Amino acid sequence: MVGAVVGDDLPGHTVIGCNNTIGHHAVVGAKCQDMKYKPGNECFLEIGANNEIREHTSIHRSSKPSDITVIGDNNLIMGSCHIAHDCKVGSNNVFANNTLLAGHVVVEDHAHTAGAIVVHQFCHIGSFSFIGGGSVVSQDIPKYMMVSGERAQLRGLNLEGLRRHGFSVAEIRSLRAAYRKIFMPINANLRGVEDRMVQVEQDEELVLVPTVRSMLQSIRDSFAEDRRGICKFRSWIET
């Protein structure tokens, strides 16, 4: 569209796939804003196919030759969004206006943000998750979950998003049961998230559900040494 800027006179490349729309005055493939970037270094951006990148959005190249900023396929990136250096965005995501991703953020697939949200660098946003409007996300959001708040907290499962994406009633029922065991435990002796996850894994029915296993793995991955942990949550313990 008129006023859009694509690419920059920098070493490296910006590669854009087929059937993408780049809106008015969007800036795609510019130099990153990372102070660690060294002039003359190669930097990279690769965008897939069928993305709609709306007006005034900015998407920056990587901050170093060994990394790359990646956007997948079929994403809707609404007006005035920002995707910083070295981000990895999957496919079929919807970013509402003024969604701001700091450097090195990973967004999986089918995630949805409401407007005016901020994501801290190095956070991971799981597939089929939802971020409420005005949220500040400073830790990971596991798959299938919904967060909101000035310091985003878990608010439950993204039930409406799961239904819209064709998850079955049985799958959703199993995810809800697992979520309650982990974040709303009946047993007051199971104080740690890891203990509660083990309890879910010992449930003969829940452990057979692929979506439950996927959610458990997403939570566990967030506690790896190089990750930021999951968003805060209120642990409602029935006594």
* Catalytic (active-site) positions: 85-86, 103
Q: How many CB atoms lie within 10 A of CB 78?
A: 20
Q: 182-192: buried (b, 16+ CB within 10 Å) or exposed (e) per residue?
A: bbebeeeebee
Residue 100 in 3-state DSSP?
strand
Provide φ and ψ at 114, rounded to 5°.
Answer: -85, -175
Inter-CA distances, 160 with 109, 163, 164, Å: 16, 5, 6
Q: d(Cα 36, Cα 66) in Å, to the nearest integer?
A: 13
Residue carrying the six token digits 């990148």: 53
Q: Which two tokens stand for residue 123?
A: 């956070």
